[in-house]
Amino acid sequence: MKLKSYVQGQWQEGEGSGQILKNAVTGEVVAEVNSKGVDFKGAIEYARNVGGKNLRQYTTHDRAYMLRDLAKYLLSKKDLFYQLSYATGATKVDSWIDIEGGIGTLFTYSGKARREMPNEKFYIDGKLEHLSKEGTFQGHHICVPKEGVAVHINAFNFPCWGMLEKIAPSLVAGMPCIVKPASLTSYLTELMVRETIASGILPEGSLQLISGSAGDMLDHLDMQDVVTFTGSHATGVKLKSHPNIINNSIPFNMEADSLNFSMLGLDAKPGTAEFDLFVKEVSREMTVKSGQKCTAIRRTLVPEQYADDVIKALSDRLAKNTMGDPQQEGVRMGPLAGTDQVNDVSAALKNLLADASIAYGDLDNFDLIGGSKTEGAFFPAMLLYCDDPFNKTAPHNVEAFGPISTVMPYKTVEEAIELAKLGRGSLVGSVFTADNEFAKSIAYGTAAYHGRLMFLNEKSAKESTGHGSPMPQLVHGGPGRAGGGEELGGIRSILHYMQRTAIQGHPDTLTAITGEYQKGATRTEDVIHPFKKYFEELQIGDSLTTHRRTVTETDIVNFAGISGDNFYAHTDITSLGEGSIFTGRVAHGYFVMSAAAGLFVDPKKGPVLANYGLDELRFIQPVYVNDTIYVKLTAKSKQDKQPREDEIPSGIVKWDVEVLNQNDEQVAQATILTLVAKK
């Protein structure tokens, strides 16, 4: 079977012969791949002129719903992906991480974008900045989609997840994608792209696939494009230093394989829950995906006095690990992805053995359940021991991208921190301890060198997602040799594909640009109460200035009785004076907001269905007995809401609430949210 690229809306087979891709278990030919004849310049222009324009006509929420629908569709096809995934050497668990983990990332980004971003074609970043005394000149920031293409260059180890976790934030941001998977396992990526295109969910031009070499693609990029890369540090540096990348200041997000650590705490002696959890996690990270994970544990750091116990426990656990054909019952670890990887890992092991010794494993003598030792790409789990990790440094410099980890001893917290930092930048470190002070020391001592730190103890173990599982809500990346980039991270990663721009002007102008009322902008009042307007009728800036209410001592006493809030400033005037910031009996802040609601709420049944929440509440100055308050209510922003089944169609309206006293001084400020019916 010849794999095809999907470019400019067409499936295209490479010209001539290409690279032969083999089944990692049996050595049988799976596919042939090459990208000869692909018009890379044309693919990029198609993404910009067709895909980008199509995506940018939708709002963030529209694009988020596309991700959700695509995730549902791909889940319905998952059996196809699982069956082909076995050829990569993946077990059912390995494939679950790659396939359903990747699809889960689509769901996550869809949900986060709809919850945390406005239903607009742009994103408002941060808060209004006051730049002038009278407030007639102010500043803000907006983020808009870059008008280029996101080129995603992926590694061989996660042919599905690697693609999906990159296209999810790109598409939500409004950038079309060109995916270039590593050739070795690209047959699985091609299948998933085929199903994605067949679904018809994504707009034309929003996703293209290069099966084979990237050719001269980087030569044709410009300043509106973004490149992301996952793979070896050496390849990443080569691509990142491409003259066109440098000359056009093209954002390049690099996630390189790294020498991640896992650390056993000084308190976690043999027999503790944390010791057992540590052994289980290290063993799992060595064998899941046959150690072919950028987050796998390469350096195992243990207190010197527990080193022998750790080696024995790990050896016993690894001895129970069964290797072979992933489709055979009982097999827990498959082969590496290909024979080239066997050669690479063997060479790395040889370099490691210059500074370490074998504690467990035999490269020449291991058992298989199914599969072929001669034609397959099998490599046994190997546990090494480095007795002097501060002077024997190969384990801190050599990564074997397979089922190999090196145990290294430390004596003190300070030594543990220094060992963790010797990896010179890693994606993740994990610490197994029940001692929170130890955890705190490691966090402060090593965080600058790692993209993620996981602290595990008996309390969190049951629900832990594990050392090696990047979560779409959290940053995935790391400094130094880990690439210096940031993939994932919730909304942060969406913003990688958008241009942040400062905007300055009069509040009326900024309100018009952002679609959100900015302090100082013109407020519009009419005879119709804003709460009597349906969602479609409400305009940003629609306002109400309420009648006034004088706060009495009875109000304060009654509210104290109802709420149970008997703070001295409300109920004990004898405690006022020295040591108090109040000069008289003061109204409860929550009474002030309740009274404010009584002033601005229209009591009759109408379009406002419910109070939906309260944000950014601040009590600015005290309200005393006989003070008179009133409210300025202003429609701040509107957000469409997709109705659930049998739910009244509605939207969410945010209202700016200013509570002022008789001197027109602000005493409280809040944003309230209401659910407002549509016509």
Report how far apart, in Å, the C-alpha atoms of 408 and of each of 363, 387, 393, 416, 544 are: 21, 6, 11, 10, 68
Give residues with Cβ within 8 angstroms of 636, minimum separation 6: 516, 517, 540, 653, 654, 655, 656, 671
**Residue-level pLDDT at 205:** 95
Q: Parallel, antiparallel, or unpaired for β 123-130 and 138-145?
A: antiparallel
**C-alpha 494: how far from chain center:** 9
The rounded distance, in Å, linking the Cα atoms of 314 and 310 is 6
**Is 42:24 a contact under the CB 8 Å cutoff?**
no
Give me the residue spans of the domains in the chain.
40-256+492-499, 260-477, 523-677
**Which of 180, 71, 109, 51 lies closest to 495, judged by CA?**
109
pLDDT at 484 over 90: no
The rounded distance, in Å, linking the Cα atoms of 1 and 295 is 32
Q: In the numeric block, which tokens belong to residue 209?
A: 């696939």
367 — pLDDT class (breaks 50, 70, 90): confident
**Is 190:163 a contact under the CB 8 Å cutoff?**
no
364 — pLDDT class (breaks 50, 70, 90): confident
Rounded to an integer, the average pLDDT of 450-468 is 91
* φ, ψ for residue 582, nearest 5 deg: -100, 145
Q: What is the CATH number of domain 523-677?
A: 3.10.129.10
Rounded to an integer, the average pLDDT of 653-677 is 94
First CA to last CA across the chain, in angstroms?
56
**Residue-level pLDDT at 280:** 95
Q: State the greatest distance between any 2 C-alpha atoms of the chain, in Å, as a whole number.
A: 94
Q: Parallel, antiparallel, or unpaired for β 382-385 and 357-360?
A: antiparallel
Does the fold of domain 523-677 match that of domain 260-477? no
The rounded distance, in Å, linking the Cα atoms of 211 and 189 is 9
Radius of gyration of the chain (CA): 30
pLDDT at 426 over 80: yes
**Is 456:281 a contact under the CB 8 Å cutoff?**
yes
Q: What mean pLDDT value characterizes the chain? A: 92
**Residue-level pLDDT at 552:** 95
pLDDT at 257 over 90: no
**Residue-level pLDDT at 312:** 96
3-class DSSP state of 596: helix
3-class DSSP state of 258: coil
Identity of the residue numbered 673: L
CATH architecture, domain defined by 40-256+492-499:
3-Layer(aba) Sandwich (3.40)
Rounded to an integer, the average pLDDT of 500-507 is 94
3-class DSSP state of 255: strand
The rounded distance, in Å, linking the Cα atoms of 248 and 148 is 13
Instruction: Dump pLDDT digits (tens) for 300-347.
Output: 999 999 999 999 999 999 999 999 999 888 889 999 988 889 999 999
Instruction: Dump pLDDT digits (tens) for 590-632.
Output: 999 999 999 999 888 989 999 888 988 999 999 999 999 999 9
The rounded distance, in Å, linking the Cα atoms of 432 and 47 is 46
Q: In the numeric block, which tokens belong to residue 380?
A: 């046994």
**Residue-level pLDDT at 485:** 87
3-class DSSP state of 644: coil
Q: How many residues does the chain have?
A: 679
Report helix, strand and coil shares of the chain as percent, to nearest 5: 35, 25, 40
**Is 185:210 a contact under the CB 8 Å cutoff?**
no
501 — pLDDT class (breaks 50, 70, 90): very high
Q: In the numeric block, which tokens belong to residue 93?
A: 């668990």
* DSSP type of residue 288: G
**Which of 338, 395, 429 lies closest to 155, judged by CA?**
338
Q: How many CB atoms lie within 10 A of CB 154?
A: 25
pLDDT at 527 over 90: no
Q: Domain 260-477 adopts which CATH fold?
A: Aldehyde Dehydrogenase; Chain A, domain 2 (3.40.309)
Buried-exposed string 55-71: b where 16+ CB fall within 10 A, e elsewhere: bbebbbbbbbbbbbebb
Which active-site residues does the annotation give? 255, 294
Give residues with Cβ within 8 angstroms of 12, minimum separation 6: 4, 5, 6, 37, 38
Q: In the numeric block, which tokens belong to residue 8?
A: 């400019």
The rounded distance, in Å, linking the Cα atoms of 454 and 622 is 44
**Residue-level pLDDT at 62:** 93
Count of alpha carbons within 13 Å of 638, Cβ hemisphere only?
A: 18
**Is 227:153 a contact under the CB 8 Å cutoff?**
yes
3-class DSSP state of 563: helix
